[in-house]
């Protein structure tokens, strides 16, 4: 027996092992015990085999991943890893397979709907599932969307939607033929509407902040935050703790991946990340080189149907993912996790043994995907920020839309920005660091066009500035903050401009918004009114530009859900600095006033139909309900019982406590905090964490939903770390 496992009150495993090899094997065993179905489904999707389980619904998704060659790339990247990194994944896989052998007759309920039991885990599968979880966090959908806008409306609208009219000439400089190519994509993408819908990945943003000991009650740093993603079941992160002579680390792991890539701490240093929003993907319109492609055939097995042949090929720029020679046009893709060797896994074990902020930052030099805003804090009192990941600076035209497939736009010969030149900052004078997917700087190197707005970042800064002696309880209050800094200028504009053309009953709505405290709480009627008006304005802009939701499916540039999110952001930008004048039919102030008044009337009509005629009974929580879809339950009717229940929740996409929506699907909360954490470097046992459901992905296990009420109340569970606290919290113990 090389490892002792202790399960605490919440079913979270604390593993004590004789060495690192045993620790990684134990991590694999525990991950399989809690999340084998999730690991298996991610693996099948990455390998382009999801159709084997759910049938034709997954065929286009499988074809995409086959053509992308994700499995082959993952195998090649794994084979190029150092012996130590490969050994780490081998030990992890050994633990997974041990669990499978021991529990072949005791698999989770999902396998009642599978045609076969899970296959053995191979070490390179760790790389494959990691890539799967990050490939759509880049700019693929945004570039497809802007390509559609450019072809449909022209460069002035595209530039205005980014808030920078001066960029209009840069978007199309020398790209007359480029516009013709974009317009020609319509029929190709229309045929792929179901594929583009399947590939949406909801990334709602994230928050993180580090407070220097000079501003804390205990005199040591506090590190806190919460990642925002689509809320699904099982949860994307897995709480785990492993100790051996080489390291002692607790944190949030990815099921199927060893170590703690994003969030954790050891005895001396803590780390966390937010999405860096980097432009890591280019889309190429291939026309001239299609005949030169050597196409290989792969068979996709489809449950209940005949096998389907998929043709896969690549150009000099990357794999072709949509189209073929018969179409006369195709799209190829370059992503930093596909082009060039991905050495991210080389960082995973060195991170565990770092003892200072500087050592932790040096350990992530090999990091490739995704680009992250990394915050660290150490017991010596330092706090630090550093961008980690592969940043490539390409031609300016590549930043906006799909580009012609030629040597001018290819990545050949482009070297990554050196690690030393990536932005970083340590121990700032103001005593804290904050990241919230916001723009870090306007200087070189170029990171992206696409960052989150400043609302969440500015609000966290406001709250921290008020805390000269911050505590862990203060960090929890920041987690739960739902004051919107996005709302005031929009409400001010509405209440000052929309009254002249408004229906008389709209006066109640305007008066309500005029006195709103901008708290996006569940019981707030004003938060509800604000949200629906914004969506109505978004729909109005789409209709006027000819890119309304009715047309998203033909062509799907990209899916209706993804497009509605991007139009939602852009339409809000167009409200200010007279950018709205680029919208057809809105040429004068009277035009805008009338359009906003119409949105108010439409909001009232809609809410009366949905919630009844009595506004006193309306509230944000009635419509803003968090769905946590189970992927198998969404695909198979007979598995619908695996879906968790719906719950109302506060916040929206611009508040610190996230509750982001997809306008295409209404006010349902689609993205939120998939974890919350506070690392207290003065006393590790005073740290806390919580996830939306529970540590287990096994329905009815007892630990699949036991954190739900804590998460809804924005409370934290104890993150027990020291030996004494672990022993005190132990509810069950066994050896591996």
- Written as one string, the DSSP assignment of 32-90 is HHHHHHHHHHHHHHHTT-THHHHGGGGHHHHHHHHHHTHHHHHHHHHHTS-HHHHHHHH
Share of the chain above pLDDT 70, in %: 92
Alpha carbon separation from 227 to 411, 616, 625, 720 (Å, rounded): 31, 35, 19, 21
Cβ pair 229, 3 in contact under 8 A: no
Residue 11: partners with Cβ closer than 8 Å, 6 or more residues away: 34, 694, 695, 696, 701, 702, 703, 706
Low-confidence stretches of the chain (pLDDT < 70) are: 1, 163-166, 168-204, 325, 499-502, 548-558
Contact predicate 23/3, CB 8 Å:
yes
List the domain boundaries for the chain. Answer: 487-670
Secondary structure element (H or E) that encloses residue 321, with its range: strand 320-324
Cα 365 to Cα 344: distance, rounded to the nearest angstrom = 9
In this structure, are residues 659 and 650 in contact, taking their beta carbons and an 8 Å threshold? Answer: yes
Rg (CA), the chain: 25
Per-residue HEC secondary structure of 349-383 comes to HHHHHCCCHHHHHHHCCCCCCCCEEEEEEECCCCE
Percent helix, percent strand, percent coil in the chain, to nearest 5:
45, 20, 40
CB 651 within 8 A of CB 667: no
> Tokens at residue 218, please?
């205990």
Q: What's the rounded Cα separation, in Å, for the pair 337 and 322?
A: 19
| Strand-pair category, 688-690 with 717-718 | antiparallel
Question: What was the pLDDT predicted at 556?
Answer: 54
Helices 20-46 and 70-79 pack at an angle, to 10 degrees, of 160
Q: Using one digit for the tens of pLDDT, what is the confidence trace for 512-531?
A: 999 999 999 999 999 999 99
> How high is the pLDDT of residue 497?
84
pLDDT at 56: 93
Whole-Å CA distances, 703 to 26, 42, 487, 699: 19, 21, 38, 8
List residues bridging with 206 in a β-sheet: 227
pLDDT for residue 552? 37
Q: Which of 206, 314, 597, 628 is catalytic?
A: 206
Alpha helices, DSSP H, located in 291-422: 348-353, 357-363
Q: Are 161 and 573 in contact (CB under 8 A)?
A: yes
Distances from the Cα of 682 to the Cα of 225, 403, 503, 551, angstroms: 17, 51, 59, 56
Q: What is the 3-state secondary structure (H, E, C) of 215-253?
A: HECCCCCEEEEEEEEECCCCCCCEEEEEECCCCEEEEEE
* In this structure, CATH architecture of domain 487-670: Orthogonal Bundle (1.10)
498-516 burial, b for 16+ CB within 10 Å, e for fewer? Answer: beebbeeebeebbebbeeb
Closest CA to 335 of 278, 294, 396: 278
- Return the pLDDT at 664: 86
Is the peptide bond prior to 391 cis by the omega test (within 30 degrees of 0)? Answer: no
Centre a 10 Å sphere on the Cβ of residue 4 and count the other Cβ atoms it contains: 16
pLDDT the model gives residue 555: 47
CA distance 391 to 134: 15
Query: Across the strands, what pairs with 680?
Result: 222
**Element (DSSP H or E) covering residue 473:** helix 472-479
pLDDT of 453 reads 92
Q: Is 357:223 a contact under the CB 8 Å cutoff? A: no
Distance (Å, whole) CA 196 – CA 199? 5
Per-residue pLDDT of 444-473, as tens digits, reads 899 998 999 999 999 999 999 999 999 999
Q: Is 696 a catalytic residue?
A: no
Picking from 636, 628, 631, 629, the residue whose alpha carbon sits closest to that of residue 113 is: 636
Distance CA 207, CA 226 (A): 5
């Amino acid at each position: 027996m090389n490892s002792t496992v202790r399960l605490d009150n919440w079913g979270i495993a604390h593993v004590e092992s004789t060495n690192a090899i045993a620790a990684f094997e134990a991590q694999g065993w525990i991950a399989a015990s809690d999340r084998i179905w999730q690991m298996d489904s991610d693996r099948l999707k990455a390998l382009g085999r999801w159709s084997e389980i759910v049938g034709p619904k997954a065929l286009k998704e499988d074809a995409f991943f086959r053509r992308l060659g994700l499995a082959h790339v993952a195998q090649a990247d794994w084979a190029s890893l150092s012996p130590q990194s490969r050994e780490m994944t081998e030990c992890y896989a050994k633990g997974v397979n041990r669990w499978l052998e021991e529990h072949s007759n005791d698999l989770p309920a999902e396998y009642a709907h599978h045609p076969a039991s899970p296959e053995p885990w191979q070490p390179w599968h760790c790389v494959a599932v990691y890539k799967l979880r990050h490939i759509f966090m880049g700019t693929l959908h945004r570039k497809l969307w802007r390509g559609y806008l450019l072809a449909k409306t022209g460069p002035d609208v595209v530039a205005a939607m980014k808030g920078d009219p001066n960029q209009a000439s840069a978007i199309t400089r020398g790209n007359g033929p480029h516009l013709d190519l974009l317009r020609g994509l319509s029929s190709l993408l229309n045929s792929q509407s179901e594929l583009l819908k399947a590939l949406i990945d909801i990334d709602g943003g994230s928050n993180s902040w580090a407070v220097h000991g000079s501003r804390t009650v205990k005199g040591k740093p506090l590190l806190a935050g919460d990642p925002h993603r689509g809320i699904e079941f099982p949860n994307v992160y897995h709480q785990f703790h492993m100790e051996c002579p080489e390291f002692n680390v607790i944190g949030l792991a990815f099921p199927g991946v060893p170590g703690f890539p994003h969030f954790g701490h050891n005895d001396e240093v803590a780390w966390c990340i937010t999405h860096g929003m980097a432009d890591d993907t280019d889309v190429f319109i291939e026309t001239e080189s299609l005949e030169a492609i050597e196409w290989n055939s792969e068979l996709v097995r489809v449950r209940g149907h005949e096998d389907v042949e998929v043709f896969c090929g690549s150009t000099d720029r990357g794999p072709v993912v949509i189209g073929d020679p018969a179409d006369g046009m195709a799209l190829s893709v370059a992503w930093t996790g596909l082009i060039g060797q991905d050495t991210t896994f080389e960082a995973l074990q060195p991170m565990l043994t770092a003892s200072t902020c500087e050592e932790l930052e040096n350990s992530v030099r090999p990091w490739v995907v995704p680009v992250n805003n990394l915050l660290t804090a150490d017991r010596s009192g330092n706090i630090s920020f550093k961008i980690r990941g592969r940043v490539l600076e390409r031609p300016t035209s590549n930043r906006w839309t799909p580009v012609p497939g030629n040597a001018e736009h290819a990545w050949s010969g482009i070297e990554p920005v050196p690690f030393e030149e990536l932005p970083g900052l340590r121990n700032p004078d103001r005593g804290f660091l904050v990241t919230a997917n916001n723009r870090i700087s306007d200087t070189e190197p170029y990171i992206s066009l696409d960052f989150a707005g400043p609302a969440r970042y500015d609000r966290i800064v406001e709250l921290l500035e008020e805390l000269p002696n911050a505590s862990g309880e203060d960090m929890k209050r920041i987690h739960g903050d739902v004051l919107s800094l996005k709302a005031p200028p929009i409400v001010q504009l509405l209440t000052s401009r929309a009254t002249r053309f408004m229906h008389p009953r709209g006066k109640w709505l305007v008066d309500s918004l005029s006195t709103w405290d901008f708290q996006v709480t569940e019981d707030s009627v004003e938060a509800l009114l604000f949200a629906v008006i914004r969506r109505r304005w978004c729909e109005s802009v789409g209709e006027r530009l000819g890119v309304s939701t009715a047309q998203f499916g033909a062509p799907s540039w990209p899916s209706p859900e993804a497009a509605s999110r991007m139009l939602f952001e852009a339409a809000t930008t167009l409200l200010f600095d007279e950018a709205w004048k680029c919208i057809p039919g809105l040429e004068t102030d009277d035009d805008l006033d009338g359009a906003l008044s119409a949105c108010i009337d439409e909001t009232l009509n809609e809410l009366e139909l949905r919630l009844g005629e009595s506004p006193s009974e309306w509230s944000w929580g009635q419509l803003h309900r968090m769905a946590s879809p189970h992927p198998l339950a969404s695909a198979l009717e007979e598995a619908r019982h695996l879906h968790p229940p719906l719950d109302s929740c506060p916040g929206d996409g611009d508040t610190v406590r996230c509750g982001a929506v997809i306008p295409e699907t209404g006010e349902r909360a689609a993205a939120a905090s998939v974890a919350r954490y506070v690392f207290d470097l003065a006393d590790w046992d005073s740290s806390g964490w919580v996830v939306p459901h529970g540590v287990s992905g096994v329905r009815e296990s007892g630990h699949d939903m036991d954190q739900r009420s804590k998460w809804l109340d924005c409370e934290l569970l104890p993150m027990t770390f020291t030996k004494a606290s672990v022993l005190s919290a132990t509810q069950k113990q066994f050896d591996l």
